[in-house]
Amino acid sequence: MTAEIIRKQLRKAADKDKAKILQRFFKTGPGEYGEGDIFLGISVPVLRKLSKECDGMPLNETMQLLNSTIHEERLIALLLLVRIFSKGDGAIRKKIYDIYLKNTKHINNWDLVDLTAPNIVGTYLINKSKKPLYTLAKSNNLWKRRIAIMATFSFIRRNDFDDTLKISHILLTDEHDLIHKAVGWMLREVGKRSPATEEHFLKQHYRKMPRTMLRYAIERLPEARRRKYLNGTI
């Protein structure tokens, strides 16, 4: 399998009408967070299926796709990196992790981050220093900050919440809505596993939280409890 063959298959699966919808949904207009991104209009399940058919494709071919201006080409490249990482030994995993962080300029929309950061960055850093996440969390780059918080999903799944809470605190006053949503989501995931841990964090910080972050974080709480947070009466 080569990058060119995958490109041809993607063009066959393209849907112009869906592409227009996706380009609006992912904010590709002037001044928006996804400015200039180009979509073919292909769903994630189709891309996942194709990525499974590409096992064994040389890494240099995958990198050609990651360098693409086409959103779906970058996404399938990232899905392929996840597959290589998941099947690899320690050396392969380090190589994929390093490639991922060296190519964050191509991981430049929220779906690209969310579908891959936990599985590569987060998984690699289990039982290792989490210092790289704190560097990312303090970056001026929106997508690096989102990678930082989303990578902790891998820890949350292991009932390890410490870094999620610390990075959430760093991002508490972030100005971007996409960070508000991501932090709120991860706090909600903490709450699914340990309601007391989430509420302890919320009681300390909910008055400072952007409204969107708070709404995402408390989404699963009982209605009466949610109202108290939203009304500032906890």
Whether the CB-CB separation of 72 and 38 falls below 8 Å is answered with no
Q: What is the mean pLDDT of the chain?
A: 95
Q: What is the pLDDT of residue 166?
A: 98
Residue type present at position 89? D
pLDDT at position 201 is 97
Residues forming beta bridges with residue 38, ordered by sequence position? 70
At residue 52 the predicted structure's pLDDT band, cuts being 50, 70 and 90, is confident
Structural domain spans, the chain: 1-105, 116-234
Do 21 and 10 contact (CB within 8 A), yes or no? no
pLDDT at 184: 98
CA 206 to CA 227: how far, in whole Å?
12
Neighbours of 108 (CB within 10 A): 18
Amino acid at residue number 232: G
Query: For the domain with range 116-234, which CATH number is right: 1.25.10.90, 3.40.50.1820, 3.90.1300.10, 3.90.1150.180?
Result: 1.25.10.90
Confirm if 182 and 146 have CB atoms less than 8 A apart. Answer: yes
Q: How confident is the model at residue 208 (pLDDT cuts 50, 70, 90)?
A: very high
* Degrees to nearest 5, angle at CA 111 with 147 and 69: 100
Q: What tens digit of pLDDT does each residue of 60-101 get? A: 999 999 999 999 999 999 999 999 999 999 999 999 999 999
pLDDT score at 234: 85
* 129-171 tens-digit pLDDT: 999 999 999 999 999 999 999 999 999 999 999 999 999 999 9
Q: For residue 189, is pLDDT > 90?
A: yes
